[in-house]
């Protein structure tokens, strides 16, 4: 029986109770499709993803083909191969092939857009205080060179709700605002932000938006062209489970003309497709393997994958908040979450650590739990990820381990 499509989590009401039970696994022994170390509770899919064996095998097959006749692969048949892969990826994320180019990762996608903006002294670049560091630094770098300013809008936690957040962005826009950069799903706080409403509000103010969707493809149901942003970049190596180095950049047709890849190469000035299809010699097999990853995860049903991971995240957030006696960063029903949740450590445990790295190391070395530590508005949190290979016992182990640390 097909499961219902998961609505945009941030769009649902906050009246649904948090799930009392974790989801049932989508297939018996599903973890055996991954090469992950069985002795580790791997609760950090979010940082770099994890690629299934079958997809790695497809990448190896492509690499073997490349090495047999490098010129044929990287030169004469390259554009056709990339076209096919872009068409398959576009169908998955709601994008037309002609508006889509491959990049290595979301950092590179954001850099291409941000570095293509012609800034004047006094111009303003607007983002949020939860923006990923690499993107925030890229904004700072171009602003410093031009004498422009980066404005970072705070995101209060507990999350204040989509309407208030959109108003905060709106009120930070001035006549000098040249670009708004907003995460679809934030890294530190794992919130799914109301990007469509932000794009609409910015359009009304005459400002372009770049959406950093590093985590979105595969985590939430995505139709990029319906969002209407000038630019959208995302990763396929995180929640689509493609090999590492598979990202994309979508540019609305009217915002392609002055856009150049972060690496200017042989086809400068020859148009979006030509410039993005060749950025110097590199391994293009992560991009070419992305359709296999979409197909591999699709065998479980993409709606079921998203539903499973979302239900696990909402359940695990509740489990940890109740066990640790802490307030969640967003509603317990999971309505502002996708497949990750950032949960504050109990103050007694947080006080043990000089920095988040110490906490991450202790959890790994003593308990074999892999989970990142984040600092969200001054609070030390752990950000859990939920992918189809995760089991409820792994979050129960984390809950108990942290209780033990406070003892
Ligand atoms: C919101 C956000 N943007 C950008 C990135 C960078 O991704 P990548 O290292 O694949 O470029 C991340 C990584 O986790 C992220 O969370």
pLDDT greater than 90 at residue 196 = yes
Dihedral of the alpha carbons of 375, 377, 383, 385, in degrees to the nearest 10: -140
Whether 33 maps to a domain, the answer reads no
Instruction: Tell me: do 283 and 140 sit in the same domain.
Output: yes
How many domains does the chain contain in total?
A: 2
Which CATH number goes with the domain that contains 272? 3.40.640.10
What is the CB neighbour count within 10 angstroms for residue 152? Answer: 16
State the residue range of the domain holding 366: 9-27+301-405
CA nearest neighbour of 194 among 230, 233, 168, 157: 168
Helix ranges (H only) for 123-218 are 133-146, 162-172, 195-204
Do 205 and 339 sit in the same domain of this protein? no
Query: Which pLDDT does position 406 carry in this prediction?
Result: 82
Same domain, residue pair 282 and 372: no
Do 337 and 386 contact (CB within 8 A), yes or no? no
Contacts of 298 (CB under 8 A, 6+ apart): none
Q: Are residues 240 and 154 in the same domain?
A: yes
3-state secondary structure of 196: helix
Token pair for 380: 């030390």
Closest residue by Cα to atom 10, ligand 1, is 105
From 214, 234, 242, 245, give the residue whose CB has the most ligand 1 atoms within 8 Å, as the site to mutate. 214
Distance CA 150, CA 138 (A): 10
Asked if 122 and 151 sit in the same domain, the reply is: yes
Q: Is the CB of 136 under 6 A from ligand 1?
A: no
Of all helices (H) and strands (E), which one includes residue 100?
strand 100-103
Each residue's pLDDT tens digit, 236-258:
999 999 999 999 999 999 999 99
Residue 174 lies in a domain: yes
100-141 pLDDT tens trace:
999 999 999 999 999 999 999 999 999 999 999 999 999 999
Do the bridges between strand 373-376 and strand 177-183 make them parallel or antiparallel, or are there none, so unpaired?
unpaired
Domain boundary among 259, 279, 296: 296
In this structure, the residue with its CA closest to atom 14 of ligand 1 is 47
pLDDT tens per residue across span 319-356: 999 999 999 999 999 999 999 999 999 999 999 999 99
Q: What is the pLDDT of residues 211-230, one digit of tens each?
A: 999 999 999 999 999 999 99
Instruction: Please work out whether the CB of residue 342 comes within 6 Å of at least one atom of ligand 1.
Output: no
**245 and 97 within one domain:** yes
Query: Is residue 385 lining ligand 1, measured as CB closer than 6 Å?
Result: no
Based on the fold, state whether residues 131 and 265 are members of the same structural domain. Answer: yes
Residue 42 lies in a domain: no
The packing angle between helices 356-367 and 392-405, to 10°, is 110
3-state secondary structure of 353: coil
**Which CATH number is 19's domain given?**
3.90.1150.170
Closest ligand 1 atom number to CA of residue 247: 10
CA-to-CA distance for 251 and 267, rounded, in angstroms?
A: 18
C-beta 215 within 6 A of ligand 1 = yes
Ligand 1 pocket member 249 (CB < 6 A):
no
Residues 271 and 310 in one domain: no
Residues 216, 325 within the same domain:
no
Residues 20-43: tens digit of each pLDDT: 899 999 999 999 999 999 999 999
Measured in Å, residue 245 CA sits from the centre of ligand 1 at 12
Q: Which atom of ligand 1 is nearest to the CA of 186?
A: 1
Q: Looking at the chain, how many residues does it have?
A: 407
3-state secondary structure (DSSP) of residue 64:
helix
Last residue of a domain, one of 278, 296, 314: 296
- Centre of ligand 1 to C-alpha 109, Å, is 10
Residue 228 domain-assigned (yes or no)? yes
58 lines ligand 1 (CB under 6 A): no
Ligand 1 in reach of 187 Cβ (< 6 A): yes
Q: How far is CA 211 from the centre of its chain?
A: 10
Ligand 1 neighbourhood includes 51 CB (under 6 angstroms): no
pLDDT band per the 50, 70, 90 thresholds, residue 14 = very low
- The pLDDT of residue 16 is 64
User: Same domain, yes or no, for 314 and 286?
Assistant: no
Where among 252, 271, 296 does a domain terminate? 296
Determine how many CB atoms are found less than 10 A away from the CB of residue 143.
20
Residue 43 lies in a domain: no
Domain check: are 155 and 263 in the same one? Answer: yes
Residues 243 and 363 in one domain: no
């Amino acid at each position: 029986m097909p499961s219902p499509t998961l609505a945009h989590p941030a769009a649902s009401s906050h009246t649904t109770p948090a799930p009392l039970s974790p989801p049932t696994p989508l297939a018996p022994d599903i973890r055996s499709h991954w090469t992950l170390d069985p002795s580790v509770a791997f609760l950090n899919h979010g940082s770099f993803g994890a690629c299934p064996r079958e997809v790695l095998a497809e990448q190896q097959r492509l690499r073997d083909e490349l090495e047999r006749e490098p010129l044929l692969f990287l030169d004469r048949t390259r554009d056709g191969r990339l076209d096919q892969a872009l068409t398959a990826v576009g169908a998955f994320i709601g994008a037309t092939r002609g508006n889509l180019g491959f990049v290595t990762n979301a950092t590179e996608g954001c850099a291409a857009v941000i570095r293509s903006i012609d800034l004047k002294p006094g111009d303003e670049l607007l983002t949020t205080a939860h923006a990923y560091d690499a993107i925030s630094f890229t904004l700072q770098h171009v602003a410093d060179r031009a004498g422009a300013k980066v404005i970072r809008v705070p995101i209060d936690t507990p999350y204040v709700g989509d309407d208030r957040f959109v108003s905060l962005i709106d009120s930070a826009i001035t006549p000098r605002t040249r670009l708004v950069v907003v995460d679809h799903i934030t890294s530190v706080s794992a919130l799914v932000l109301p990007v469509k409403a932000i794009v609409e509000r910015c359009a009304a103010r005459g400002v372009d938006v770049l959406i950093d969707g590093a985590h979105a493809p595969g985590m939430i149901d995505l139709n990029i062209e319906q969002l209407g942003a000038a630019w959208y970049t995302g990763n396929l190596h995180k929640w689509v489970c493609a090999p590492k180095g598979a990202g994309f950049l979508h540019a609305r047709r009217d915002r392609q003309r002055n856009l150049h890849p972060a690496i200017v190469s042989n086809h400068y000035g020859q148009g979006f497709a030509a410039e993005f299809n060749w950025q110097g010699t590199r391994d293009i097999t992560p991009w070419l393997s992305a359709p296999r990853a979409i197909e591999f995860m699709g065998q479980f049903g993409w709606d079921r994958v998203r539903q499973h991971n979302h239900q696990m995240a909402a359940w695990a957030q509740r489990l940890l908040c109740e066990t640790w006696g802490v307030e969640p960063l967003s509603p317990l029903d999971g309505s502002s979450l996708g497949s990750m949740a950032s949960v504050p450590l109990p103050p007694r445990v947080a006080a043990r650590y000089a920095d988040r790295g110490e906490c991450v190391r202790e959890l790994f070395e003593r308990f074999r739990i892999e989970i990142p530590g984040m600092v969200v508005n001054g609070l030390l949190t752990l950000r859990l990820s939920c992918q189809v290979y995760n089991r409820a016992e792994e979050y129960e182990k984390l809950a108990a381990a942290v209780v033990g640390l406070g003892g």
